[in-house]
Amino acid sequence: MIKPLFARLQQKHRTISFPKAKPELPERFCGKPTIDQTKCSADCKLCIDVCPAAALKKENGALTIDLARCLFCAQCTQKCPADAINFSRDYRLAAGTKADLILSGSEMKLAEALDKKTKSLFGRSLKLRQVSAGGCNACEADTNVLSTVVFDLGRFGIQFVASPRHADGLLITGPVTGNMRLALQKTYEAVPAPKIVIAVGACAISGCIYADHPQVNNGADKIVPVDLYIPGCPPHPLTILDGLLRLLGKIKESI
């Protein structure tokens, strides 16, 4: 018993202070992309051609990037001769609608808190059933790590549960394959109302590189209604945590 106590003392406090303090991010972190339209040539389509997920488009001469499909591979930044596209270190990416995930500059409308009635139900205790709908396990891993001592999801009253009948909502990862469509529908129906649904990762939001494949449903919202979209491939644990806390109204301003 003495050895574990000494080990715990040596480890000191391991839980990050987020959201009270700005988080420390790894040097290689690739956050919200920004586009400088003044540098972007109307005739250049090099970034569009190199994007493996078809996330980049030009509409009325303006370049846009759809975070619903973006892999954050940064190949577009390497291909752009004018340095018009860059990936910032901003981890805040969660949005309330798919339309808010389409960027044409540096600004982005972040997710807003639930309405007053729903927030009163889930604001202090939110139980989620995680559904891996054909994912590669990357988004699942970054979701599971939130329960570790570093992030300590439980301190915000959020917990993953084993049964949808004990849940307040679903957190969905993966492109929703044909084999998982019925399973997702049944899991959603098993959650008692009122309930919320969160789509985590580009696959769960749009199908990503698997979009339009006959065995993929192009996003969870084609099967069930979605209240929160958290893009990334996979999204960083802090991006997921930030989205969850914004939905519950625990983060109201930028930090």
Provide the Cα torsion 215, 160, 199, 178; round to 10°: 10
Class of domain 116-247: alpha beta
Q: What angle do CA 72, 73, 75 make, to 5 degrees?
A: 125
CA distance linking residue 179 with residue 32, whole number of Å: 32
pLDDT band at 255 (very low <50, low <70, confident <90, very high): very low
Q: Which fold has domain 33-91?
A: Alpha-Beta Plaits (3.30.70)
Q: Where do you find CATH 3.40.50.12280 in the chain?
A: 116-247
**Which residue did the predictor score with more confidence, 161 or 252?**
161
Q: Where do you find CATH 3.30.70.20 in the chain?
A: 33-91
pLDDT in tens, 26-41: 888 999 999 999 999 8
pLDDT in tens, 190-203: 999 999 999 999 99
For residue 254, pLDDT beyond 60: no
pLDDT band at 63 (very low <50, low <70, confident <90, very high): very high
198 with 164: CB under 8 angstroms?
no
pLDDT in tens, 86-96: 999 999 999 99
